Amino acid sequence: MKLNIAILPGDGIGPEVTNQAVKALKAIASEFNHNFKFTTADVGAVAIDKHNDALPDETLQLCKKSDAILFGAIGDPKYDNDPSAKVRPEQGLLKLRKELGLYANIRPVKAYKTLLDKSPLKKHIIQGTDISIYRELTGGIYFGEKQTSEDGDYASDLCSYSREEIERIAHLAFVAAEHRNHKVTLVDKANVLETSRLWRRVVKEVAEQYPDVTLDFLFVDNAAMQMILNPKQFDVILTENMFGDIISDEASVIGGSIGLLASASVGDKYAMFEPIHGSYPQAADKGIANPIASILSAAMLLSHFELHNEAELIRLAVEKSLKLNITTPDINSVVNTVTTSNVGDFVEDFI
């Protein structure tokens, strides 16, 4: 297969971890005789520094011409602590999601056998957890109208949703559930929010088309609790943008490290693959960043193009690295000399 893959390393640890994923993809290409072409472009704080734009048009055009995008990470504390900054790295990511119509962010959460002891949660709580979170990614309060009064003493953000925005991701979630454990949990705050009540109404209707999938509802506050008390109760979680952001980061503790969690952001035309972790600037260039989330994002990319054997091989390589303790310090309490690229090299060689 021929694939043009745009590489957007971004900020902080983004470049290091993305490099390892590219190594894995190159190994796959040579092993399975695929033709993968990689083109790199700037996004985020690095793009602001170079082009004064968090998403230069060149980068956007490259993404639109590519078959898939591999994204690193975004964010730089120098912007976070300047509330009046006019350009912010995150705008690059948000604009990318919006322009490419990547309305569904899919985040699998699994407890790896070899890592059960790494989690802050007790083993019997997480053992067997297997969740797929479907987070709406181009609507809600992230993209609603924002206002600040002239004197700066009042601000607002609008959260809005339309039926279509809910329907399209709901269908994806229900189809996924049909291939999994036949359960969708809608996380919302329908006892307070009008948008949540719209979600409930629309998702109930969509559910009727999937009679073999059970739909249940959970308020987001309760969901945040249930995720820790009993994560095994979940199969597919469906939720709006902001709640999905919070719940999926929270869920990362189940796996033992946020450095393990990959995600796919898909729309009707484009698809982007990215770790759910952030740019973690304190760790940049130290060789301690965990590349597994990025490598597993590459596996999700391959699955997206039905290259299931190839994806499986990457996953096997990752599991092997976990078993052999060829892992970065965040999940390795035995050997503390394994670097980001050591992990990448192992996965490459294994393939």
Binding site for a second copy (CB under 8 A): 75, 79-81, 83-84, 88, 90, 94, 120-122, 125, 141-142, 144, 146-148, 152-163, 189-195, 197-198, 200-201, 217, 220-222, 224-225, 227-230, 242-243, 245-250, 252-253, 258, 278
Nearer residue to a second copy within complex by CB, 24 or 207: 207
Reply yes or no on whether 285 is catalytic.
no
| Token pair for 256 | 């033992």
- Measure the CA–CA gap between 182 and 211, rounded to whole angstroms: 10
**Hey, is 254 helix, strand or coil?**
helix
Reply yes or no on whether 142 is catalytic.
yes
Residue pair 258/276 in contact (Cβ under 8 Å)? The answer is yes
- Measure the CA–CA gap between 337 and 329, rounded to whole angstroms: 8
Nearer residue to ligand IPM within complex by CB, 168 or 189: 189
Residue type, 159: C
Cβ at position 230, least distance to a second copy in Å: 8
Reply yes or no on whether 249 is catalytic.
yes
- Measure the CA–CA gap between 327 and 259, rounded to whole angstroms: 11
- Name the catalytic one among 95, 245, 320, 345: 245
Residue pair 98/144 in contact (Cβ under 8 Å)? The answer is no
- Measure the CA–CA gap between 146 and 113, rounded to whole angstroms: 44
Q: Which of ligand IPM, a second copy, none does residue 157 bind to, with CB < 5 to 8 Å depending on kind?
A: a second copy
Map the footprint of ligand IPM across residues 268-327, applying CB under 6 A: 276
- Name the catalytic one among 221, 268, 285, 349: 221
Nearer residue to ligand IPM within complex by CB, 93 or 343: 93
Q: Is 107 annotated as a binding residue?
A: yes
Task: Report the alpha-carbon angle 326-350-18, nearest 5.
Answer: 70
Nearer residue to a second copy within complex by CB, 52 or 147: 147
Q: Please report whether residue 75 would count as binding ligand IPM according to CB under 6 A.
A: yes
- Name the catalytic one among 67, 130, 249, 345: 249
Residue pair 74/279 in contact (Cβ under 8 Å)? The answer is yes
**Hey, is 289 helix, strand or coil?**
coil
Rule CB under 6 A: which residues touch ligand IPM?
74-75, 90, 93, 191-192, 221, 245, 276
